[in-house]
Structure 1
Amino acid sequence: MMKGAIHSIETFGSVDGPGTRYIVFLKGCHMRCRYCHNPDTWALESKDMRTADEILDHAERYREYWGPDGGITVSGGDPLIQIDFVIDLFEKAHARGINTCLDTSAQPFTREEPFFSKFNRLIKVTDTVLFDIKEIDDEKHKKLTGWTNKNILDCAQYLSEQGVDLWIRHVLVPGLTDSDEELLATKAFIDTLKTVKKVEILPY
């Protein structure tokens, strides 16, 4: 039986997706952001391993608090590292009538197989994607995170093309991601996306 490597769970979240959310933080992240506030999520290993049904059974204890817009959010780390588990979780969540939200920086995204087919399966059961754009300039993104952003921006464009609702997030780090040039370039990119429902500038 498939299990996910869990970092932590928040039972009452109000900022990670529409309405009130039950938030599952998964382990695993390949990026090494210079301003990361939870590096303990980087490693994939976890002593807390749970099945999708175990998580959903626990989440539904709080369902009366969610209201019409709430549901579950899967964050990390980057949950796309555990894409097989997230697919299982979201498919079972939708079967229970639970709204789903994916919080990702999209570093694992690729159009190569087998990931791409899995990703397409995932977005069919994803109601909203919280999409974190770390840095719009590729070279600066590499210095900031250790990785290119070309596949990340491609992921945002693909999600928009597929009609997936997007909430764009950008962390404003003084001296790193806050120049007028970078912010204007970020806005110009966001303006090309057709399904953006919200843009959040988050203070560091």
Structure 2
Amino acid sequence: MKKVQVNYIESFGTQDGPGIRMVIFTQGCKMRCLYCQNPDTLPFKGGTAMSWEELLDKALRQKEYFGTRGGVTVSGGEPLLQAEGLIPLFKALHEKGINTALDTNGFVWNEHVEELLKHTDYVLLDIKHIDPKTHKKLTGVHLAPILDFTEKIKPLHKRLWIRYVLVPEWNDADNDLRNWAKFVHTLPGVERIEVLPYHTLGVPKYGELGKEYKLHGIQSPTAELKERTVRIFEEEGLENIIVK
């Protein structure tokens, strides 16, 4: 059975799904987002190889803190790259009455991903930009696979939380916001929209890794910009919008 390459595990997380959660950050990602806050999770090598039994044991030791809403979220990196190793974990979590969530960029689809989603309660989907050219500049990859992912999960009737990292000068134009909202409005099962304001807390990691941070000079969104973003999303029919 494949082990999961884990970068780190956060106990008592409250930012990645409902309730109190154990958040497993996996190793490896094909995207190269200019604002990535966890550049140490990008390489496929690294982290700690853990079996699903080890991860389940950690979750069971925290289960009493989850209550009725909390559970386990797997983030990254990109967790779908390790879907095969996560399937037995998610199956076991469901058998123990623990809900599951995936925080994903939707760039991966294969038979293992499809199987894993059958045992996933919440999908926290990051859609970085809706314009293909800007998406490629911002993330280093094409938008088409993400759009394909959204089509393939429609018949699975997943509970979706859609995330938007708001980056000034990159995806804050009215037209970009409206087009993004129009697209998201077509997705079934969307329960929540999370606006994640860009920040620079992860910048020191780039120096530690000897990497160049390419968004120097970009400031965090102002209160006015965040309010405008919410207003535009609401005008386009989106509901339950949360600014993190």
The answer, yes or no, to whether TM exceeds 0.5 is: yes
Query: What letter is aligned with 1:81?
Result: L
Give the 5 Å matches for 1:25-64: 25-64=25-64
Shift of 1:52: 0.7
Structure 1 length as normaliser, TM-score?
0.94
Residue 119 of structure 1 corresponds to 113
Query: What letter is aligned with 1:129?
Result: V
Residue 10 of structure 1 corresponds to 10
Residue 86 of structure 1 corresponds to 86
2:165 is aligned with 1:171? yes
CA contact (8 A) 2:108 2:149 kept: no
Shift of 1:165: 0.6
2:152 is aligned with 1:152? no
CA contact (8 A) 2:75 2:104 kept: yes
3-state DSSP of counterpart to 1:88: helix
CA contact (8 A) 1:161 1:194 kept: no
Residue 174 of structure 2 corresponds to 180
1:13-72: CA deviation from partner (whole Å, max 9, x where unpaired): 111001111000000001110111111100111241110110110121111111101110
- Distance in 1 (alpha carbons) for counterparts of 2:151 and 2:168: 27
Shift of 1:162: 1.8
Query: What letter is aligned with 1:185?
Result: N
Residue 66 of structure 2 corresponds to 66
CA RMSD in angstroms comes to: 1.1
CA contact (8 A) 1:160 1:166 kept: no
1:77-121: CA deviation from partner (whole Å, max 9, x where unpaired): 000111111212211211222100000001123xxxxx1x22221
3-state DSSP of counterpart to 1:18: coil
CA contact (8 A) 1:32 1:145 kept: yes
3-state DSSP of counterpart to 1:199: strand
Residue 112 of structure 1 corresponds to none
- Distance in 1 (alpha carbons) for counterparts of 2:151 and 2:174: 23
1:117-145: CA deviation from partner (whole Å, max 9, x where unpaired): 22221111000000000111111111111
Structure 2 length as normaliser, TM-score?
0.79
- Distance in 2 (alpha carbons) for counterparts of 1:106 and 1:129: 10
Shift of 1:2: 2.4
Query: What letter is aligned with 2:46?
Result: S
3-state DSSP of counterpart to 1:90: helix
Alignment gaps of 5+ in structure 2: 199-244
CA contact (8 A) 1:100 1:127 kept: yes
Residue 191 of structure 2 corresponds to 197
Residue 137 of structure 2 corresponds to 143
Alignment gaps of 5+ in structure 1: 110-114
- Distance in 2 (alpha carbons) for counterparts of 1:95 and 1:2: 20
Residue 214 of structure 2 corresponds to none
Percent of residue pairs identical: 46
- Distance in 2 (alpha carbons) for counterparts of 1:177 and 1:51: 39
- Distance in 2 (alpha carbons) for counterparts of 1:132 and 1:196: 13
- Distance in 2 (alpha carbons) for counterparts of 1:165 and 1:47: 30
How many residues are matched? Answer: 198
Shift of 1:151: 1.4
Which structure has the greater CA radius of gyration? 2
